[in-house]
Structure 1
Amino acid sequence: MRLKVATAAVMLLASLFAQAGIPYKDSVYEFKQPGGEKLRVHLDGNDYYAEQRTDDGSLIVFDSAKKGFCYARVNATGDDLVSTGVLATNAQKRSLSAGDKKQQGLSPEMRAKKAKEKFEKMNNRSLESARKSAAIAASAPQSLTPITGQVKGLTVIIDFPDVPGTITQAQVNSFLNDVPYTGFGNAQSVRGYYQSVSGGKLDYTNTSTVYYHAKYNKAYYADSSLDSGVRSQELITEALNWLEYTQGFNFASLSVDANKRIRGLNFFYAGGADSAWSKGLWPHMGWLNNQFCADGVCTGYYQISNMGTSLAIGTFSHETGHLIMGWPDLYDYDGSSEGSVASYCIMGFGAVGSQSQFRPVPPNGFFRYLAGWDTVTELNPALNASAPKGRLSHTSGSHSLYRWTNQAKQDEAFYLEAIYKADQNLYQLGSGLAVWHVDPAGNNSDEWHPYVQMEHADGRRDPEYNVNRGDATDLYDGAIYKAFYDTVPNNYASRGTNSRWWSGAGSNFGLANISPAAQTIAFDVVKGDGTPGGDTYTGYLSGTNASAIQPSPYFYYGGGTIKANLAGPASGADFDLKLEQWNGSAWVQVASSTSPTSNEAITYNAAAAYYRITVYSYSGAGNYTLTVTK
């Protein structure tokens, strides 16, 4: 069965796709300097902007004239890092003043500008147009066709005359497709990961080839004087022609989009990257400029990466999120923050940690919903007349979500899911209730209005302030962090954690009494100010012994907690409240509240049955308001 992608889904994939890159955080690689020394290079950034440093924190840049890394400085205008002409070495140790751990690089504003320029060069379109297209396409996720069934990709393995492959085709095939799989320390294969996070709805397999032996030695392709899209695409074209004309590969066997473009096009080459960042054969995802077509299908986007001496599924699975699902990155391209979602999603940093690279964390619930893997129950009664109310619960990994949608802007919503550190979530940072604030008008490089924002329970917003990639106190755990309201405006000035819409308007959505972190988490759905939500009934009792049934004549409840709160006259009357259950032949009182005032409350753990609630005047007359949650 081929990948099912409707026209709207193709729009989403095409528009979000361009927002794709590989994240790096103090990633260390070795580069052979002209004198033969293997320089340790520390890399922070992504495909669009990165800073590189030596062990002692000195900035370095690749100098084409010197054919190696040289120490760098910020130029006089402050808009670029330039070479000093002095080749960098591991031996030099920079003298550090107190608290000075790293040489100062570009300003956050200039980093953002450089990232934007690089993005537009790599994708041949403006960043603004990409984001606008993404917002339009993602504004109606209900129109997308689920990405389910069997999806077939291609992984071509490549070595060189002077660098033979050391990882076998069988090992690559197992890494991609075996279930179960534990090779190279991984907890699963790429296929196993997507089977897990999709609840078995997506079966993504890859055809792995025998080795293609490149025409030239590796140094030809890894030339760091050229951008990564030059010789790498030459190598890719060589390999595809070899597959077609020498191997007779049937490209029509691969899954394609509505434009007959291959979805999962992957390339692995032998050894290390052997290039500077964003140069030569540096791992990246891109668009094949010289389109290759065979058997009625053509190329589009691809990913290419080195194999090294071992394989971890994290980065490959992250890039598959782009290639197959069209999910955007959720980390910040300009490096001014870690992005709001941080390490709590594979499209943030949830696939590049020391442990999560071998067992990536799942996509956030909203992305799983976009792919058709999770169902959603709408909680906003203005949009769902039968919305559940009162005490609810959610189970981690259940592939169901709760949502509260903005009635005035229905592509903006809060999504709720329990996250428990076990199974696929084993390497999440914490356990508890996650609240995702989704708005396609946001973007990943605006940490104060991202596409997907995590409402951090601790209120500190550490990832946004570039303090960390999230921590265990970001989820509502029911111990310290038990409630979620709209009490603080959610805007650029306050930067608060709350349930307000991005416009600053209250959503009238709140959560209270969140239970302790566990596989299943319970919570009360309340109003945005923290007061009980539910159905509200008003009426008037004319005097002593008068009564009214609310709702009339009765209601059916499937089981759980029923809460009834009565507010009657402030003085001169005494109203009571009683809850009755139908036992099959008569109404039987199961709970009551009869204080000497007109303010009464009932909380009852109800079995599935028919019920009715009676407001009764013990004495006096007046108006009343009854709020019922269940």
Structure 2
Amino acid sequence: MKLAHHGRRVAAGLTLLLASLCAQAGMPYQDHVFEFKQPNGEKLRVHLDGNDYYAEQRTDDGSLVVYDAKKKGLCYAEVNAAGDDLVSTGVLATNAKLRSFATTNKQQQGLGAEARARKAKEKYQQMHGKAPEPAAATLSKMAAAPALAAVSGTVKGLTVIIDFPDLAGTITQAQVSSFLNDVPYTGFGNAQSVRGYFQTVSGNKLDYTNTVTRYYRAKNNKAYYTDNSLSSSVRSQELISEALNWLKTTGYDFSTLSVDANKQIRGLNFFYAGESDSAWSKGLWPHMGWLSNQFCSNGVCTGSYQITNMGNSMAIGTFSHESGHLIMGWPDLYDYDSSSQGSVASYCLMGFGGIGNQSKFRPTPPIGYFRYLVGWDTVTELNPAINASAPKGRLSHTSGSHALYRWSNPANQQEAFYIEAIHQSGQNLYQLGQGLAVWHVDPAGDNSNEWHPYVQMEHADGRRDPEYNVNRGDATDLYDGVTTRAFTDTLPNALASKGTNSKWWNGYASGLSVTNISPAAQTISFDVGATGDVYTGYLADKASVIQPSPYFLYAGGTLRINLSGPSTADFELKLEKWDGSAWQQVASSTSPTSTESITYTAANAYYRITVYSYSGAGNYTLTVQK
């Protein structure tokens, strides 16, 4: 399809997002397993779930552990009497010990949601020098802030590789450079390099490359920097400052790097040899932060950075996620206090789309809304209240086409629904499902409020599993055109709160109706328009019902009628017109399934619709657009 670009809000949207959220950065962990060397020499297996701001560490049997400075190791933990912190029991954890609750296949209970949220906020303050700022708080700044240019063209970053007097690097400078810059690239099992990833998801509008230094040999042995008694921002920043000052003495010209409007380096990255050798958030634990002791050279200075270990191999998912923060200014789309999995979950790079067993080597793209904000995708406005020439009726969208549809709120044009097709191929190969995706965007939302996030995925199954912390998304979250064929004011469900439908966040109807969605494919067709009349009910085997009963008067035009019923039954659909003396059938849909559709050009007359069971029984949904 060819979409016109109605982008009068792109400057405001970019300003809002990039000016206020660029510091909201972190990396999520999903059962991330690492080894920690205990004081007795045992290498303890630790499972980590959470992010840079709040995470829980557990042994193989589900026991909580925390670092104990007195014991100089990870000790079993328990919730304190106040219920607001995890405290050490003073007993060093071991791989050999099994706690009693492990026999019930349950993990030890951690902190409650309120305590997690408080600790996440405190950690954010520590890492960034300020409290997290909700997107809504920046709305008043928009008029004064300058419009930001799209993120396109060539962006040049810097990656400094570091080893230690007692641990030489095993991954070569050439290997790191290839990992970041080569096109094509398949090293370490990756499907592409970091550069190749951003070329693909931007439609070749962004060329992000990195200069990779030769190894800097740190001043001290690695154990000095992995001091677990200190926050990760202490020794990490000391090591970073060392490396930058060394690089300056080599004559490196920092002015060759891409900078932001404040002359701060946009892509500043550090890789160090070996593993992290640290507990979560301690020592050299990988993270993104703000360099408090600012370094300047050749007219440019440092700002945000990322630092991580190389280990024995490298996957591009984490680096790409952090580059989304550093280069594009995209925020995280997961819940910092870990009380939920966010809403977008694994369907976006800035959620969990870069850390799966497969997606860490071929990360999922950023959602279409984020691509639009940085100028990679165009948008067609569908709401006729905003765009008088908005297309309507039968539309289509092609996955990866870099063109989106949007339905904006006339009363608050920062709030909108964005629509795009996702097909499990190419960069989307490791998406959890395929079909039509609907994103509900509202900068007044907060990702730590799972019931009003910045970006809500309108899950086709209507369950909101990630918000309820059930999973990080699944194959039923997209409208597949078979089991889920409509997104309206009442579908998938009509709940006033915690529901999944086309209502605005204030509870008012948006008028958006997406119906008759075709089966999942590279290109998906659907009907769009004002919300139609929706009827639901139950049909027994061989039973029938008239909707609406007993008939309705229609002044003429196109009738679009869609039926969705159980996969275990065969429901049929027919439309009848009153000819003055009897009902005459004028259209029908009788496929061997319970998914039926009628489009009929109707004259001014009385009509009625009959839904009947050819075989089987179950619930049905009938949508009528006039």
Shorter-chain TM band: 0.7 to 0.9
Residue 494 (structure 1) aligns with:
497
TM-score w.r.t. length of structure 1: 0.83
Q: Aligned match of 1:44 in 23, 41, 49?
A: 49
State the alpha-carbon separation in 1 of the partners of residues 107 and 367 from structure 2. 34
State the alpha-carbon separation in 2 of the partners of residues 143 and 336 from structure 1. 35
SS in 1 for 2:289: strand
Q: Aligned match of 1:114 in 97, 113, 119?
A: 119
State the alpha-carbon separation in 1 of the partners of residues 389 and 59 from structure 2. 60
1:132 Cα deviation (Å)? 3.9
2:15/2:147 contact within 8 Å kept: no
1:575 Cα deviation (Å)? 8.6
- The structure with the largest alpha-carbon Rg is 1
- Asked if 1:275 is matched to 2:278, the reply is yes
State the alpha-carbon separation in 2 of the partners of residues 595 and 577 from structure 1. 16
What amino acid does structure 2 have at the position aligned with 1:395? T
State the alpha-carbon separation in 1 of the partners of residues 587 and 182 from structure 2. 55
1:99 Cα deviation (Å)? 3.8
Cα 1:614–1:88 change in 2 (3 A) is closer
2:179/2:194 contact within 8 Å kept: yes
State the alpha-carbon separation in 1 of the partners of residues 108 and 625 from structure 2. 61
Q: Aligned match of 1:252 in 250, 255, 260?
A: 255
What amino acid does structure 2 have at the position aligned with 1:337? S
SS in 2 for 1:76: coil
Residue 367 (structure 2) aligns with:
364
1:421 Cα deviation (Å)? 0.1
* Alignment map for 1:524-603 (pairs within 5 Å): 524-530=527-533, 596=579
1:490/1:502 contact within 8 Å kept: no
SS in 2 for 1:410: strand
Stretch deviating more after TM superposition (195-204 or 13-22):
13-22
State the alpha-carbon separation in 1 of the partners of residues 355 and 145 from structure 2. 28
- Asked if 1:444 is matched to 2:427, the reply is no
Residue 328 (structure 2) aligns with:
325
* Alignment map for 1:310-389 (pairs within 5 Å): 310-389=313-392
Q: Aligned match of 1:219 in 197, 217, 223?
A: 223
Deviations along 1:149-175, one digit per CA (max 9) or x if unpaired, are 000000000000001000000000000
1:145 Cα deviation (Å)? 2.0
State the alpha-carbon separation in 2 of the partners of residues 73 and 616 from structure 1. 73
What amino acid does structure 2 have at the position aligned with 1:449? H
1:390/1:526 contact within 8 Å kept: yes
- Asked if 1:76 is matched to 2:81, the reply is yes
* Alignment map for 1:203-214 (pairs within 5 Å): 203-214=207-218
- Asked if 1:173 is matched to 2:177, the reply is yes
Q: Aligned match of 1:96 in 98, 101, 105?
A: 101
1:12 Cα deviation (Å)? 3.6
- Asked if 1:476 is matched to 2:479, the reply is yes
Cα 1:11–1:576 change in 2 (3 A) is closer
1:131 Cα deviation (Å)? 3.6
Residue 4 (structure 2) aligns with:
none
State the alpha-carbon separation in 2 of the partners of residues 577 and 447 from structure 1. 42
SS in 1 for 2:100: coil
SS in 2 for 1:525: strand
SS in 2 for 1:474: coil
Q: Where do 5+ consecutive residues of structure 2 fail to align?
A: 1-9, 536-550, 559-575, 589-600, 606-623
* Alignment map for 1:14-93 (pairs within 5 Å): 14-93=19-98
1:13 Cα deviation (Å)? 2.8
State the alpha-carbon separation in 2 of the partners of residues 570 and 443 from structure 1. 44
What amino acid does structure 1 have at the position aligned with 2:197? Y
Cα 1:74–1:148 change in 2 (3 A) is same
Residue 420 (structure 2) aligns with:
417
Stretch deviating more after TM superposition (93-102 or 175-184):
93-102
Deviations along 1:419-446, one digit per CA (max 9) or x if unpaired, are 0000000000001000000000011111
Deviations along 1:301-323, one digit per CA (max 9) or x if unpaired, are 00000000001000000000000
1:120 Cα deviation (Å)? 1.6
1:351/1:357 contact within 8 Å kept: yes
Q: Aligned match of 1:146 in 150, 153, 157?
A: 150
Stretch deviating more after TM superposition (112-121 or 414-423):
112-121
Cα 1:478–1:616 change in 2 (3 A) is closer
1:18/1:130 contact within 8 Å kept: no
1:119 Cα deviation (Å)? 1.2
1:269/1:306 contact within 8 Å kept: yes
1:138/1:440 contact within 8 Å kept: no
2:62/2:102 contact within 8 Å kept: no
SS in 2 for 1:412: strand
2:162/2:270 contact within 8 Å kept: yes
Cα 1:377–1:67 change in 2 (3 A) is same
State the alpha-carbon separation in 2 of the partners of residues 82 and 149 from structure 1. 50
1:490/1:501 contact within 8 Å kept: no
1:108 Cα deviation (Å)? 1.5
Cα 1:232–1:616 change in 2 (3 A) is closer
Residue 522 (structure 1) aligns with:
525
- Asked if 1:503 is matched to 2:503, the reply is no
Identical columns (%): 70
Count of aligned positions:
555
CA RMSD of aligned residues (A): 3.0
What amino acid does structure 2 have at the position aligned with 1:266? N
State the alpha-carbon separation in 1 of the partners of residues 478 and 14 from structure 2. 31
State the alpha-carbon separation in 2 of the partners of residues 294 and 152 from structure 1. 16
SS in 1 for 2:472: coil
What amino acid does structure 2 have at the position aligned with 1:465? Y
2:12/2:147 contact within 8 Å kept: no
Q: Aligned match of 2:408 in 380, 402, 405?
A: 405
Cα 1:290–1:491 change in 2 (3 A) is farther
SS in 2 for 1:411: strand
2:503/2:510 contact within 8 Å kept: yes
What amino acid does structure 1 have at the position aligned with 2:208? Y
1:28/1:43 contact within 8 Å kept: yes
1:595 Cα deviation (Å)? 6.8
Deviations along 1:48-105, one digit per CA (max 9) or x if unpaired, are 1111111111111000111100111111111111111111111111123764521111
1:511/1:530 contact within 8 Å kept: no
What amino acid does structure 2 have at the position aligned with 1:55? D
Residue 598 (structure 2) aligns with:
none
State the alpha-carbon separation in 1 of the partners of residues 143 and 314 from structure 2. 37
State the alpha-carbon separation in 2 of the partners of residues 595 and 320 from structure 1. 63
2:496/2:507 contact within 8 Å kept: no
1:401/1:416 contact within 8 Å kept: yes
State the alpha-carbon separation in 2 of the partners of residues 148 and 47 from structure 1. 29
1:529 Cα deviation (Å)? 3.8
Residue 163 (structure 1) aligns with:
167
SS in 2 for 1:440: coil
1:273/1:282 contact within 8 Å kept: yes
- Asked if 1:290 is matched to 2:305, the reply is no
What amino acid does structure 2 have at the position aligned with 1:276? A
State the alpha-carbon separation in 2 of the partners of residues 382 and 141 from structure 1. 28
Deviations along 1:271-330, one digit per CA (max 9) or x if unpaired, are 000111001110000000011000000000000000000010000000000000000000
